[in-house]
Amino acid sequence: MKDFPHLLFAGPPGTGKTTAAMALTRDIYGEDFRNNLLEMNASDERKLESIRSKVKQFARTAPYGSAKFKIIFLDEADALTHDAQGALRRIMEQYAETCRFIMSCNYSSKIIEPIQSRCAVFRFRPLADAEVEDQVKAVAKSEGVNLDEEAAQALVKIAQGDLRKAITALQVAAALESDITRKLIYETSATAPPETLHQYLMACRQDGFHAARRRLREILDRYGLAGTDFVNQLHRELYGADFMSELQKLDLTELMAEIDFRLVEGGGESVQLDALTARICRMLA
């Protein structure tokens, strides 16, 4: 117990950081682990006052039962303000004998260096495609859902290493049909199939602006995509387009970055996507 350090779990969403923290506390304390655990979502309680009141109050009380220390779990700790992190650093120093911290974050660079240096840092990678596929198949089997092979592959592609995203997409599809197909997965997950995006690029290359624009509208309407979703999904499929040169792919990547920035900053979606389509048509002509 005395060798248990403060922990910092860093990595992308859906890779098991929160699950690992909860499993660890259960292993230490057993079934009554809740008595010695304070779980907080730092993105909801990110201000200095929350750290000073809630966290400090829990840290200063004695551990329950025979436990040597308590655990405070701060999920999404990278959302804490700079002042709140400064207060947290002081609490970690002051109550080091009776309290341990486990923090999870997507970006460890947003955690101040004094906190990072007090923690053992564990980095979580996106899950491998084979692992995501095995898990979604296991979930489908346990829930009595018929998941065909192509649908499982579609879930893996949608997830991009995020198991939570894959299971959520499976749950949404299963709520509609017990026999889950690839087509159903794409239609219920706000994701366009790769071949549909390739057809859009081919329309830009061969059919001209108006035909490509019509195909763009069909994709947005059918799959319920927002502008940023379309740009990000198109970017993922760009490098599989073997009819384009490397230089064209580089130019399009730069263009997509510019359009995505404009959309995030509040630019009109219709105008920006039409501008993207026009520029792609010009580049591929």
Which string of DSSP letters, residue by residue, matches 83-116? HHHHHHHHHHHHTTTTEEEEEEES-GGGS-HHHH
H-only helix segments in 43-81: 48-50, 56-60
The domain defined by 129-188 carries CATH number 1.10.8.60? yes
**CA–CA dist 192, 230 (Å, integer):** 8
pLDDT of residue 1: 47
Confidence at residue 43, expressed as pLDDT on a 0 to 100 scale: 65
Fold of 6-123: Rossmann fold (3.40.50)
- Band (32; pLDDT cuts 50, 70, 90): confident
3-class SS at 119? strand
Question: Mind listing the pLDDT tens digit for each residue in 189-205?
Answer: 889 999 999 999 999 99
Distances (CA, A) of 33 to 27, 39, 41, 98, 103: 8, 11, 18, 15, 17
Q: What is the pTM of this model?
A: 0.78
Task: Give the residue-averaged pLDDT of 76-102.
Answer: 87
Whether 6-123 and 194-284 share one fold: the answer is no
| pLDDT tens for each residue of 134-184 | 999 999 999 999 999 999 999 999 998 899 999 999 999 999 988 999 999
The CATH number of 194-284 is which of 2.60.120.10, 1.20.272.10, 3.40.190.10, 3.40.50.150?
1.20.272.10
Q: Are 156 and 137 in contact (CB under 8 A)?
A: no
User: How do the domains of the chain map onto residue ranges?
Assistant: 6-123, 129-188, 194-284
Residues facing 40 on adjacent strands = 74
In this model, does residue 86 exceed pLDDT 90? no
The 3-state DSSP composition of the chain as helix, strand, coil percent (nearest 5) reads 60, 10, 25
The helix/strand/coil state of 67 is coil
